[in-house]
Structure 1
Amino acid sequence: MSSTPPIRISTPPIPTPPHRQLTRTPSTATLVISDFSKFTEGHKGTAICASGPNGKQSRFYLALFPKNSLTWVSNDVLVCLYFYDDDIEVKYRVAIVNGKREKRYCQEYHWRRCKKLGHHVAKFISRDEILDPENFCLVNDKLTIVCELDILTPDDIDQSKFSTLTADLSQLLQSSQFADTKLLVRGKEFPVHRAVLSARSPVFEKMFDHDCKEKINGVVDIDDLSQDVCEQFLKFIYADKVDDLEAMAPELLSAADKYQLDSLKNLCEHYLSSTLSIDTASRLLLLADTHQAKQLKCQCIDYITDHIAKVKLTDSWKTVTKARPELGIELLMNLSTKHEQLKGTV
């Protein structure tokens, strides 16, 4: 029976500069357990040595326990990774290698070691699954485990999952705390923050940078948006999201164009492109042309060109060609170009 390896706490590694880029491959270790069917207590393990973000070698010990005495059901096989250095974060993958040298039952774990806890324990696979002949986990009662381990650098870590920025700014909008300006929309006031609006919109930035009436009075009168659309518009400015894009995309596209909020404009164009149909194509073409939505306009023109026989029978087509004759000319030119391209392929 093997004993649990001792844990030695060493001096924390030298911090890595936040933006340091390193090219490296995962460190790999293999653990072979003979007579697995008789392996019912204790543990088997193997040492792993890996290079950290500062080039320092760090040591680990991977142990496999055939059954557990912790909180999981006793039929689970457990893996335990022992850390010998403080303040280190790793991602490691454990898999069974079958007789064909194929990796099966791969599990990935992510853990950061602090001074108080020098090991990470996790469920790997049930013992019954390993012993089942139909799963081909054992070769002559021998189990082969492979572990690939990466020491993470700051660039490897997804910092967005720790961010509360969106939630914090949403709360700032809802609470109106420290608001220094109001948007007046058809009788309803929306308390806002000049700094936030200026950071997101060049139009608001110019408005508040000069001594215009909106800056002096602290009130921006908006008469071309509904209150509901303005609410969603502000939600996007503060939190980069919209709750009801399906119902408000055309109006939000108009607002995004007026206030030069390109990210919202792109979002609306992308959504509206997915709604193209015989009935909507002409109306969306007019909307795209009105608000210089180039991506949406190109997709509308291509769609109408491909379905011109049906689209020209709709009432919206007649309205568009009457209001904007130049759009009809663009469509004819696009249709002619496609016709020439088809002739060239014959």
Structure 2
Amino acid sequence: MYNPTKSASTLSLASNESCFSNDYSLDSVCCTKRTLHTFSHMWIIENFSTYLEDPEPIICLSSSLFSPVSGLSVATQWRLVCYPKGNYGASSNYMSIFLEYVKGEKDVKAKAEYALVNRKCELTEIRKDAQFSVYKSGNTRGFINYIKYDTLTLLENDTLNDDKLKIYVRIIIMDDHITEETKYQEFDECNGINFTTKGLEGLVRDFSQLLSNTSDLSDVKITVKQSLHQPSLNDSLSSDNMNIEQTADYSNRFNTRIVQYNAHKLILACRSPVLAAMFTGKTLENNTNTIEINDLKPETIKSMLEYIYTGKVNDIKNSTVELYRCADKYQLEDLRLQAEMALMNSISIDSSAEILLLADQHHSKELKLKVIQFIVQNLKAVTSTEGWHKYVSCVPDLVTEVIQATAQE
């Protein structure tokens, strides 16, 4: 039987539920978070085939100690342990690999990823821990049956480079979770949008547009002169794909490339105390409305302007060394730190000597410690490079520091 009263009640409830679902206003917010710290290490075992041919049934090798360069676990010490012909309990013909938590003030939650680095500098035979484990001081975890050592012999032309086995490990340490105190913020009642974040995104967008359309409103020109060994048609303006308005000129007589950027004094001065000093008083730059730069590449200045206007650099890995010098020169602290972190992650056999000299010249203690640690672990390979003889061997103090660090190991 039809009941109009019951029907009306049902409609009213549905209407109320609809209103409630759209009411998304917040009076306060808190956040629970935990931080993951990642660091990596490479261990090179020379004359690796001799361990496979050794008559001893069980051979144990250990890497030198290594530690994270930053984070709460910076005081912890770790090392890799390798059994080229397998550990006790390993299946026949398998190499075993383990990570040992040597020393630390407390237990840590961590997991590891292992790989071999082949001749092409590619990671192969990647094995990962399935989940985080609690490491107590002295604990060892890894893979008993990591890879058949017969396979290493078969892949000698690819996996072993000059009979060197390169073992790479990446360790992820998990901090304890922290709940921050409650914060009171205003959110959009309809969509829950944080207008502070939305406003910052809009600010970056607008300044990006200002950076790419500076011709009408700019009041300062930045002229960058780059000496060239030979002028190249590939350096022409049309192939540069720059958003910042610029002009380029080449002087065949002096083999010099000249690139010009338009910018705004007020923005430059707000972001860099060095640039601010140029526009204060009767300086040449203030009188001519021109900044001349002869010690940095045009692409580096382009990246610097990108950071000044937007707070970020899209291609920081492409010019890290020079961008670090640029950031230090103009006292752009956040950019310097970004470049420093990128340098720490890009240290290699060929680049380590130049990075060491850079860290010494610009008094970067953390970067210097990191690169010296790398050089000590790869001493023979690094000291054989052209970069070592070009950047370090002629600086006695740096050579002494490397020797002292090697002795401490």
Give the TM-score normalised by structure 2. 0.46
Counterpart Cα distance in 1 of 2:291 and 2:380: 47
CA contact (8 A) 1:89 1:151 kept: no
1:190 corresponds, among 258, 261, 285, to 261
Match of 1:315? Answer: 386
1:225 corresponds, among 296, 314, 319, to 296
**SS of residue paired to 1:216:** helix
Matching of residue 203 in structure 1 with residue 274 in structure 2? yes
How far the C-alpha of 1:311 sits from its partner, in A, is 2.1
RMSD, aligned α-carbons: 3.1
Match of 2:204? Answer: 166
Match of 1:105? Answer: none
Residues 212 and 152 of structure 1: CA distance in aligned 2, closer, same or farther (over 3 Å): closer
Counterpart Cα distance in 1 of 2:367 and 2:195: 32
How far the C-alpha of 1:279 sits from its partner, in A, is 2.1
1:179 corresponds, among 218, 237, 259, to 218
Counterpart Cα distance in 2 of 1:319 and 1:175: 42
Residues 151 and 276 of structure 1: CA distance in aligned 2, closer, same or farther (over 3 Å): closer
How far the C-alpha of 1:226 sits from its partner, in A, is 2.1
**How many positions carry a matched residue from both structures?**
211
Counterpart Cα distance in 1 of 2:319 and 2:262: 22
CA contact (8 A) 2:28 2:185 kept: no
Residues 248 and 82 of structure 1: CA distance in aligned 2, closer, same or farther (over 3 Å): closer
**SS of residue paired to 1:334:** helix
Q: Which amino acid aligns with 2:219?
A: D
1:244 corresponds, among 310, 315, 319, to 315
CA contact (8 A) 1:201 1:260 kept: yes
How far the C-alpha of 1:90 sits from its partner, in A, is 7.3
After superposition, give the CA deviation of every residue in 1:263-295 in whole Å (9 maximum; x if it has no partner). 111111111111112222112111222333333
**SS of residue paired to 1:225:** coil
Counterpart Cα distance in 1 of 2:363 and 2:195: 36
Q: Decide which structure has the larger Cα Rg and report it.
A: 1
Counterpart Cα distance in 1 of 2:331 and 2:368: 18
How far the C-alpha of 1:88 sits from its partner, in A, is 3.5
Q: Give 5+ residue unaligned stretches, structure 2.
A: 1-6, 30-181, 188-192, 226-257
Counterpart Cα distance in 1 of 2:354 and 2:346: 11
Residues 322-341 of structure 1 aligned to structure 2 (within 5 Å): 322-337=393-408, 339=409
Residues 1-346 of structure 1 aligned to structure 2 (within 5 Å): 3-5=10-12, 81=21, 83=23, 88-89=25-26, 153-154=185-186, 157=194, 159-163=196-200, 164-176=202-214, 177-186=216-225, 187-337=258-408, 339=409
CA contact (8 A) 2:357 2:392 kept: no
Counterpart Cα distance in 2 of 1:3 and 1:91: 34
Residues 166 and 275 of structure 1: CA distance in aligned 2, closer, same or farther (over 3 Å): same
CA contact (8 A) 2:26 2:186 kept: no
How far the C-alpha of 1:258 sits from its partner, in A, is 1.0
How far the C-alpha of 1:167 sits from its partner, in A, is 1.2
Q: Which amino acid aligns with 1:312?
A: T
How far the C-alpha of 1:3 sits from its partner, in A, is 2.5
Task: Give the share of equivalent positions with the same residue, in percent.
Answer: 28
Q: Pick which of 257-266 and 240-249 moved more.
A: 240-249
Q: Which amino acid aligns with 2:218?
A: A
CA contact (8 A) 2:221 2:262 kept: yes
Residues 321 and 229 of structure 1: CA distance in aligned 2, closer, same or farther (over 3 Å): closer
How far the C-alpha of 1:89 sits from its partner, in A, is 4.0
Counterpart Cα distance in 1 of 2:17 and 2:185: 21
Counterpart Cα distance in 2 of 1:304 and 1:284: 11
